[in-house]
Structure 1
Amino acid sequence: MSDTLSQTEGRPRRGSGRGGGGRRRRGGERSMVPEAEFTSYYGRPIVKASPWEADIPAYLFAGGLAAGSSLLAAGADLTGRPGLRRVGRLGALGALSFSMAALVHDLGRPSRFVNMLRVAKLTSPMSVGTWILSAYGPFAGAAAAAELVALLPPDARRGPLRLLELAGRPAGLVAAVFAPPVASYTAVLLSDTATPSWHEAYRELPFVFVGSAAAAASGLALVGAPTSETGPARRLAVGGALMELAMERRMEQSMGVTAEPLHAGRAGRLMRAARGLTLVGAAGAALSGRSRVLSALSGAALMAGSACIRFGVFEAGQASARDPKYTVVAQRQRMEREGPARHRPEDPDA
């Protein structure tokens, strides 16, 4: 009898779980079921990582650079800064061409991009983005072509070339209207996926990308435009950098556990480099005045920082998809914050 009692006392009680003792429910009642831990089959990822490669973050960066350059060029055109306008328009066309080349390379065939124009689906960020790019591109190209025509001798600017030159301002203004959507829709495209670190950043990521685009475009202007005309670019550089850094900080605070990949590995190194380069570039832009060397160095730092943040966000998303922790724990945090989803019964009379 005593042996039986000793064996019973030495046996762990049901529901004790790990670390002794189950969870206590509200009111002091002890739960008989230990708290579950996140897991997956053989430690394999729950969410499949995106098949995208380096072409996509390059596309994100170049698209933002193009959009910011068009916006800056339109302002320069309206305020009588021809040098700044020329750099903005030509920079927008060059960045857009590079962006489209990276996108088509990722798609594999140009026809796949054209096929996306067969439908317009407002609930699809990819479809909306395709139409935004298709509307923005021709006007940005026409504005850049007008700048090239203006470089020709006056006798050569006749007929159609003269009309193209006159169309430069209207085309540039229309391109500037499409610039903010071009700069921000890629953030919506990323956050609309199931990739944990991209999806949880959906609130702030568009603002991060817009600020980054403004900083990058200002950096290009500081490198290429006459220093006597770069006053608006310097101010936009500071404003864009502050917006990027502030919203990136807020984004990390709102992401919960899915912000961890932004601080680890290659993504962490890229994000730290982005913050450092952006701060240095913004400070240099504010203090450069008419110094050609300081303006160029500040502009290069701003563009490099913008590229780093796009690649950093991309790498963090890929890392979060490979680790099941960021899928399961993020879902739990969302349930604790918003409550479990409730099934709404269908109306039988509907």
Structure 2
Amino acid sequence: MSSSEVGKEGVRGERPGREAQIGKGLRGRGRRRGGRGEKAMVPEAEFTSYYGKPILNPPVWKSLDIAGYFFLGGLAGAGSVLAAGAQLTGRTAAARALKISSLAAIGGSTAALVHDLGRPERFYNMLRVMKPTSPMSVGSWLLAAYGPAAGAAAALEVTGLLPRLGRAATAGAAVLGPAVAAYTAVLAADTAVPAWHEAHRELPFVFVGSAAAAAAGMALVAAPVRENAPMRTAAVFGAGLELAAAAVLERRAGLAAEPYRRGRAGAYMRAGEVLSAAGTAGCVLLGGRSRAAAALSGAALLASSACTRFGVFHAGVQSAEDPKYTVVPQRERLAARGPGPTREP
């Protein structure tokens, strides 16, 4: 029985220290906005998952197919842009080499995609509708339009037939080329995979820079030295854009950027950085004087672009396999929003 009594004058005989202490003892729990409302009595729970199982299903794509699809699509798209520039400036050997390589690359990219899908008719089924909000739908139609343009540009260049139509096909492939080089990054970022989704702003720039460096590398391998000056400039631009975008990605994406520095993905990304630096330095210092140096520099740039695409792919797989990359960023976003307003009594 309590010895305190409640009367008109208030509570009499209450025992000191027995009144309710709302929120007392909680750590790091501020009051709600406006200074009103009760503090939560339940401490923040530590993160865990059910038996440590992944929260997301990791991508089931085959690394060789999809990372190869990313790489070859970028090489084709950027190659068509450089081919159009080479043709306009009278660099016929470089233009021809880039048109042929773009056709081969888009053919290989499509083959890798169809192989991963399992049956060719699945690709055709994606063309049954046009859905602008779906990167996969837009990408399918983009490939369906770009492939014939790149094929016509290469075939008419080799045969010498219908030069006006060939120039029109070259221009059409060049217009679609940047989208072909970038849309695979949008496709990856549109998923729930943390390392891809959290990098949705920077990943297209990484892919475009990597594609430009790869296409420039192809031109350095295939074109004579007298025609490779613009290609060396494109290599510097592409490598610089890729490295700068990757640095911004690691800073902005927070915890979700960690897989890009660890495991198989980290090894690929570091190899890509080394090869990119070596290829860029080689083409700037020696690429304009030696065909062998230009070819080696170009090969390094091609290998660097491939490593970047494989690194991005494996970073996504690693981030999906570890549940902390899914839950912790979500909690950080909720904490940044702050507690909601309380209702007045």
TM score, norm. by length of structure 1: 0.86
Equivalent of 2:158 in 115, 139, 148: 148
- 8 Å Cα contact 1:64-1:182 kept in structure 2: yes
Equivalent of 1:191 in 186, 189, 192: 189
| TM alignment of 1:16-35, pairs within 5 A | 22-26=26-30, 32-35=41-44
Which secondary structure state, in structure 2, belongs to the residue aligned with residue 167 of structure 1? helix
Counterpart check, 1:41 vs 2:50: yes
State the alpha-carbon separation in 2 of the partners of residues 62 and 290 from structure 1. Answer: 29
State the alpha-carbon separation in 2 of the partners of residues 319 and 299 from structure 1. Answer: 30
Question: 1:168 — aligned with what?
Answer: 166
Which secondary structure state, in structure 1, belongs to the residue aligned with residue 85 of structure 2? helix
| TM alignment of 1:334-349, pairs within 5 A | 334-337=333-336
Question: 1:102 — aligned with what?
Answer: 112
Equivalent of 2:101 in 91, 99, 103: 91
Cα distance change on mapping 1:341 and 1:88 into 2, 3 Å: farther
State the alpha-carbon separation in 2 of the partners of residues 67 and 103 from structure 1. Answer: 16
Shift of 1:174: 0.6
How big is each residue's C-alpha offset from its partner over 1:258-311, in whole Å with a ceiling of 9 and x where there is no partner? 111111110010010111111111111111213111101110110101000100
| TM alignment of 1:1-350, pairs within 5 A | 22-26=26-30, 32-54=41-63, 55-150=65-160, 162-163=161-162, 165-287=163-285, 288-337=287-336
Cα distance change on mapping 1:50 and 1:247 into 2, 3 Å: same
Question: 1:153 — aligned with what?
Answer: none
State the alpha-carbon separation in 1 of the partners of residues 66 and 39 from structure 2. Answer: 51
Consecutive unaligned residues in structure 1, runs of 5 or more: 1-14, 151-161, 343-350
Letter aligned with residue 128 of structure 2 = R
- 8 Å Cα contact 1:59-1:98 kept in structure 2: yes
Letter aligned with residue 244 of structure 1 = E
Q: Which has the larger radius of gyration?
A: 2
- 8 Å Cα contact 1:278-1:301 kept in structure 2: yes
- 8 Å Cα contact 1:22-1:35 kept in structure 2: no
State the alpha-carbon separation in 2 of the partners of residues 23 and 241 from structure 1. Answer: 48
Structure 1 or 2: more helix by fraction: 1
Letter aligned with residue 262 of structure 1 = Y
Consecutive unaligned residues in structure 2, runs of 5 or more: 1-22
- 8 Å Cα contact 1:23-1:33 kept in structure 2: no
Shift of 1:338: 5.2
Shift of 1:131: 0.7
State the alpha-carbon separation in 1 of the partners of residues 339 and 216 from structure 2. Answer: 45
State the alpha-carbon separation in 2 of the partners of residues 172 and 340 from structure 1. Answer: 56
Shift of 1:31: 5.5
Shift of 1:341: 9.8
Which secondary structure state, in structure 2, belongs to the residue aligned with residue 268 of structure 1? helix
- 8 Å Cα contact 1:76-1:85 kept in structure 2: yes
Which secondary structure state, in structure 2, belongs to the residue aligned with residue 266 of structure 1? helix
- 8 Å Cα contact 1:61-1:310 kept in structure 2: yes
Letter aligned with residue 114 of structure 2 = V
Cα distance change on mapping 1:131 and 1:286 into 2, 3 Å: same
How big is each residue's C-alpha offset from its partner over 1:289-337, in whole Å with a ceiling of 9 and x where there is no partner? 1311110111011010100010001001000101110000011122334
State the alpha-carbon separation in 2 of the partners of residues 256 and 301 from structure 1. Answer: 30
Which secondary structure state, in structure 1, belongs to the residue aligned with residue 54 of structure 2? coil
Letter aligned with residue 113 of structure 2 = L
State the alpha-carbon separation in 2 of the partners of residues 62 and 341 from structure 1. Answer: 48
Cα distance change on mapping 1:295 and 1:338 into 2, 3 Å: farther
State the alpha-carbon separation in 2 of the partners of residues 103 and 313 from structure 1. Answer: 17
Which secondary structure state, in structure 1, belongs to the residue aligned with residue 86 of structure 2? helix
Cα distance change on mapping 1:38 and 1:216 into 2, 3 Å: same
Question: 1:158 — aligned with what?
Answer: none
Shift of 1:340: 7.8
Paired residues, number: 313
Letter aligned with residue 270 of structure 1 = Y
Which secondary structure state, in structure 2, belongs to the residue aligned with residue 239 of structure 1? helix
Cα distance change on mapping 1:339 and 1:223 into 2, 3 Å: farther
State the alpha-carbon separation in 1 of the partners of residues 312 and 297 from structure 2. Answer: 23
State the alpha-carbon separation in 2 of the partners of residues 339 and 178 from structure 1. Answer: 44
State the alpha-carbon separation in 2 of the partners of residues 328 and 308 from structure 1. Answer: 28
Cα distance change on mapping 1:341 and 1:62 into 2, 3 Å: farther
